[in-house]
């Protein structure tokens, strides 16, 4: 048995999220289906760095898998890409130690959220949030810094997220402009379900004058999920990077 770490990207538009779910089209389910074929029909489970929601994309997702057949890194990458649909692409396959775990050995993750402040663009509707109005970027930049640090992010988790430990550390958070496009990035130790989308939705409300930067501190301290009124649409969200200790 050989353990491989695969790095891959995907367009989440046609998937019911990353995590395998019975009867639904998922990224994990699609890759595992191909891996089973490569591995002589033996069940192969993909252990990823984490899951992404329906319609969310990934530029750099990572997962490890154990393969019983004798196959090189190059051949595994080539075989997967020749059999997978065009909206999933294996960027690399690397042999790692059998003690390596793609989820439990993550140092940090980075998410990126794209917003269009210009005219509606139907071609980008699955890849950029079509807000189509100017945002108060100064207010958003002044407010995003309150998310940085170690906090209990219960307020910014999904209603159905039953995580017992909602403490996460945001190492960095930035907002950049590119013409009519706004790009918001969060780098942290990990993220709860809907957490990035709820933080983005809150920043939009700050821009609209419906919340102040001080409200963000109050929201974090309250641990009250009902206080977040906007969860930004999934189409603008990307898992952009995952960092590990030197492999």
159 vs 10, which has greater pLDDT? 10
pLDDT tens-digit map of 17-62: 999 999 999 999 999 999 999 998 887 899 999 999 999 999 999 9
Pairwise CA distance, residues 1 & 99, whole Å: 12
Structure tokens at 47: 């252990």
Q: Among all residues, which ones are annotated catalytic?
A: 53
pLDDT tens-digit map of 160-186: 876 679 999 999 999 999 999 999 999
Ordered by where they begin, the domains of the chain are 2-96 (3.30.70.580), 107-244 (3.30.70.660)
Pairwise CA distance, residues 113 & 236, whole Å: 5
Within 13 A of 210's CA, how many CA atoms are on the CB side? 11
Pairwise CA distance, residues 189 & 213, whole Å: 23
Q: Give the angle 1-93-77 at the CA atoms, nearest 5°.
A: 100
pLDDT tens-digit map of 52-88: 999 999 999 999 999 999 999 999 999 999 999 999 9
pLDDT tens-digit map of 206-244: 999 999 999 999 999 999 999 999 999 999 999 999 999
At 42 the pLDDT is: 82
Measured CA to CA in angstroms, residue 226 lies from 29, 148, 222, 239, 242 at distances of: 33, 21, 10, 26, 30
Find residue 243's DSSP bridge partners: 108
């Amino acid at each position: 048995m050989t353990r491989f770490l695969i790095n891959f990207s995907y367009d989440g538009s046609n998937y019911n999220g990353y995590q395998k779910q019975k009867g639904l089209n998922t990224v994990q389910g699609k890759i595992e289906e191909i891996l089973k074929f490569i591995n002589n029909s033996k069940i192969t489970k993909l252990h990823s760095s984490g899951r992404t929601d329906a319609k969310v994309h990934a530029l750099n997702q990572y997962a490890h898998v154990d393969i019983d057949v004798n196959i090189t890194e190059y051949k595994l990458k080539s075989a997967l890409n020749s059999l997978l649909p065009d909206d999933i692409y294996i960027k690399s396959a690397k042999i790692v130690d059998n003690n390596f775990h793609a989820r439990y050995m993550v140092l940090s993750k980075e998410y990126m959220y794209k917003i269009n402040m210009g005219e509606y663009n139907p071609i980008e509707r699955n890849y950029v949030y079509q807000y189509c109005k100017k945002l108060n970027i100064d207010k958003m930049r002044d407010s995003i810094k309150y998310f940085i640090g170690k906090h209990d992010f219960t307020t910014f988790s999904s209603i159905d997220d039953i995580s017992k430990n909602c403490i996460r550390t945001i190492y960095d958070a930035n907002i950049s402009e590119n013409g009519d496009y706004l790009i918001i990035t969060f780098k942290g130790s990990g993220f709860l379900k809907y957490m990035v989308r709820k933080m983005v939705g809150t920043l939009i409300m700050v821009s609209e004058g419906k919340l102040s930067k001080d409200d963000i501190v109050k929201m974090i301290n309250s641990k009250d999920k009902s206080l977040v009124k906007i969860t930004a649409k999934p189409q603008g969200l990307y898992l952009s990077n995952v960092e590990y200790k030197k492999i």
